[in-house]
Amino acid sequence: MTTVAGTFPVQGTFSFGGDDARFGAGRPGHRHQGQDVVAPSGTPLVAPVAGSVTWKANQPGGAGIYLVVRGAADQRDYVFMHIKRGTVLVTPGTAVVAGQQLAQVGATGAASGPHLHFEIWVGGWWERGGMPVDPLPQLQRWAGL
């Protein structure tokens, strides 16, 4: 995956968890399509790149409260899941800049504890022809690791 300049989306202490937190890890009935970033509840979540918010929804039995940001330069979709209730600062159509706070880390939906489930999609999030890619290399680059 080509990496792009940007900002690490979790603004505080974090870890990338264990093997079960990785892209492709087995889940009941599917494969994990993102990377979990474990962080304390309430840790600020920021836009990694400039773009616009395309989706805000709640999936109580899965993703919980989630946002999708489409990157202006690369047209990739950056997905934030398990957001803390009452902390979302943006709505669909909102233009964002890299580093702008979007919400806070939470544990909504099917989450065993506070963390950001982060996905990167090429070709559109859940759109025909779209596909998730392993976000860990990009996250590591943004984190300076």
* CA–CA distance, 52 with 70 (Å, rounded to integer): 5
pLDDT at 2: 59
Residue ranges per structural domain of the chain: 19-143
Q: What is the pLDDT of residue 31?
A: 83
Helix (H) or strand (E) holding 139: helix 136-143
What pLDDT, on the 0 to 100 scale, is given for residue 27? 75
**For the chain, how big is the Rg over CA atoms in Å?**
14
Sign of the Cα torsion 62, 65, 71, 72 reads positive
Contacts of 24 (CB under 8 A, 6+ apart): 31, 32, 134
Q: What is the pLDDT of residue 63?
A: 94
Entry pTM: 0.94
The predicted pLDDT at position 3 comes to 61
Contact 139, 4 (CB under 8 A): no
Q: What is the per-residue pLDDT for 72?
A: 96
Q: What pLDDT was estimated at residue 1?
A: 53
For residue 29, the model assigns a pLDDT of 72
What lies within 8 Å, CB to CB, of 4 at 6+ separation is 49, 71, 73, 74, 76, 138
**In which residue ranges of the chain is pLDDT below 70?**
1-3
Per-residue pLDDT at 102: 98
Quote the CATH superfamily of domain 19-143.
Answer: Glucose Permease (Domain IIA) (2.70.70.10)
